[in-house]
Each structure stands twice: as C-alpha cells, then as structure tokens.
C-alpha cells in the first residue's frame, strides 16, 4: 500500500470509529509507511485510541503520535 492510500485509510478509520468520530483536528501524514498524527485531542485516551487505530492498518510500519491533549474549556 502506498503512502497516499495509507493516509486515506487512516483518515477513514478515524472518522468511522465511533469513539473518535468527533475528532476533526487531526492531521495525518505518511512517509515510507511511517504515519504521523498531529493536532489536538481532548484526552490522553483519545490520543491512545487514535494511535491504536492507526497501528491496525495494513502497511503502517510505525506511528509518530504528535497529538496534543487540550481538554475542553467550560
């Protein structure tokens, strides 16, 4: 699977996961099978779930989790 296909698959899986569907501030980039997740999530649990979903995709060799936890205000 090429990098563009991996990126598309990661985005689709994150969007279709009911636990993560509200996450809209995640950027996904893939270079030589290494996926970088960047952006903001609300909890450390969301960050871990996004990483696990990404690791489960065929062709992903490594995940760099650069997600920042920013709790909701209010």
pLDDT at res. 72? 81
pLDDT tens digits along 23-70: 778 999 999 999 999 999 999 999 999 999 999 999 999 999 999 999
Q: What is the pLDDT of residue 71?
A: 86
pLDDT of residue 17: 84
Q: Are strands 26-31 and 34-41 parallel, antiparallel or unpaired?
A: antiparallel
pLDDT of residue 21 exceeding 80: no
Tell me, yes or no, if the pTM score tops 0.85.
yes
Question: Would the CA dihedral through 8, 25, 67, 45 be positive or negative?
Answer: negative
Domain boundaries, the chain: 3-69
Fold of the CATH domain 3-69: 3.30.1340
DSSP state at residue 7? H
Burial class of residue 39 (count of CB atoms within 10 Å of its CB; 0-12, 13-18, 19+):
middle
């Amino acid at each position: 699977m090429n990098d563009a296909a991996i990126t598309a698959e990661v985005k689709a899986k994150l969007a279709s996961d009911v636990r993560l569907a509200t996450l809209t501030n995640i950027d996904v980039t893939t270079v030589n099978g290494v996926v970088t997740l960047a952006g903001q999530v609300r909890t450390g649990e969301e960050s871990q779930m996004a990483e696990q979903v990404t690791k489960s995709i065929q062709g992903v060799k490594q995940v760099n989790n650069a997600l920042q936890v920013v709790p909701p205000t209010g």
